[in-house]
Amino acid sequence: MQRIVNMIVKKSLPGISRTLWFALILATLAAMPVWADSLESLRASGAIGESYNGYVVAREPGAREEAEEINAKRRAIYQQKATAQGVDIDQVAKVYAEEIIRTVPPGTWIQTNGQWKKK
Write a three-state SS string for the chain: CHHHHHHHHHHHCCCCCHHHHHHHHHHHHHCCHHHHHHHHHHHHHCCEEEECCCCEEECCHHHHHHHHHHHHHHHHHHHHHHHHHCCCHHHHHHHHHHHHHHHCCCCCEEEECCEEEEC
Taking residues 68-88, report their average pLDDT.
94
Model pLDDT, residue 17: 64
Residue 14 confidence (pLDDT) above 70: no
Q: Which of 18-22, 32-36, 97-101, 105-109 has the lowest mean pLDDT?
A: 32-36
pLDDT digits (tens, 9 = 90+) for 16-74: 566 666 666 666 655 544 445 688 889 999 999 999 999 999 999 999 999 999 999 99
Model pLDDT, residue 1: 41
